[in-house]
Chains A and B, each alone.
Chain A
């Protein structure tokens, strides 16, 4: 169980995330929606401590994640994998090494510095890649892959971490609908088969409705909606997206549904 207590992050006067209080049971698939600047990325980055909170608590079990530092913080990050909109792979390293970096936390320093990996570790990484249909690219440089392929490698790297939680910050925002669907399906499989909690920032509404057990809506740093997809009314969604409603409801733009999913058509 992941529990946020009055979690707040300010940038100067600007409150990027304010007083966020949520409980996320293990194994849930959560979608966070909101217009850009609503604080979605900040919330996710707070969770694996790429940024530090200004106030509040992040409880996982009995540990307050907000207080961790040094070795314990790195252990938490390794338990709480993250994938990014721009993939954040090391382009000049080959795919398998990128995936193996997911295991850095379990590898002694001298071996990680010398880039020495055991056959077992390599096998583990290849299996992770294979799950995403990317094993054949293992020895290619990551930068030679297409966006969709890179995101699948990034998911394999996350899997190699054997995480308890998987965070995804707009994982499909720079992908075409075809690749977006592959990536979202992979995230759902990981959630359903491995029981890993998935928390995913999404820009388009229909994707959130289609894939997530629960939707959290954010507006100006505050959580303004929290519930199952069917509880999210059109009026509420319009309110959350504001001026971006048109784009967010337009399934043709960056959504995963080819053809369009039913609920979205009702909205539009």
Chain B
């Protein structure tokens, strides 16, 4: 191997100086790689132990899976409607009865379902609006760079942690006990969770806001609230909006489930048909739920991207 010719410096003066640097570097690199290897092995071992434990606890064994899969199909068998091609679009008879085997028969309660899905979406909208409102209000004092005082920071942080720490379904149960069965319990539960989840995201956005405009508003003699309204909000509003829309998508899903504990929406009906009938009505409701969630996701994504495009960030 021929020596690399060094340009300038003191390399020419002492012949083996560059060699020393190269050797030192190679030694250092080897050491670093060795220590990294140890870490990688330790991490891999840790992961393997966790995986093994979780397989053991959940009894995730191939034979159990093998015996379970047919039962899934069995269940599907019971909820698949018995549709007949020639009767598919048959209307009601003169006495107002639907013909078995027709879509009308399968979806006898179609308009009830639609009403409930509408209720579900309204629940999601109300909960998102409420949650976004409280997350917005508290997010400024929950940001390290903006908090008006140490205790305001501490309190708003804890409020966020608490409200996103408790699972929605648990909150819904409590509210159903407190204020009775119905959508209000679901809305409150989801709104509280939304406050916590969005609050954390909002305050992180706030912490990345540039301090220059805020300083500008301080220098004109603005109050704390004016600094937030003029110095911070214009910077963070597009991000807030985007996060709130994303949360709305999540909340549509949440509000179609939360009815299982009696907190309103389509989930309540889904729970009823599963526990009382377990027939083709289950699939009828399920299809509508999946359709709703998908359509809402698509629309909301459109809006978000359109908005982001306009604000170009």
Contacts and interface: CB of A to CB of B under 8 A. Distances in A.
A140 to B, nearest CB: 14
A171 to B, nearest CB: 13
Contacts of A75: 221
A109 B217 CA distance: 14
B217 A101 contact: yes
A78 B220 contact: yes
Interface string B204-233: 000000001101111111110110011100
Interface string B221-256: 111011001110011010000000000000000000
Contacts, number: 79
Contacts of A161: 220-221
A74 B221 contact: yes
A219 interface: no
A86 interface: yes
B234 A77 contact: no
Contact of A90 (B216, B218, B219, B223): B216
A105 B231 CA distance: 15
B225 A113 contact: yes
A101 B230 contact: yes
A77 B218 contact: yes
A114 B46 CA distance: 55
Given A92-B234, A93-B230, A113-B229, A86 B220 contact: no
Interface of A: 48, 50, 74-78, 81-82, 84, 86-93, 97, 101-102, 104-105, 109, 112-113, 115, 154, 157, 161
27 contacts: A50-B218, A74-B221, A74-B223, A77-B219, A77-B220, A81-B219, A82-B219, A84-B215, A84-B219, A87-B216, A89-B213, A89-B216, A90-B217, A92-B235, A101-B222, A101-B226, A104-B222, A105-B221, A105-B222, A109-B223, A112-B229, A113-B226, A113-B229, A115-B229, A157-B220, A161-B220, A161-B221
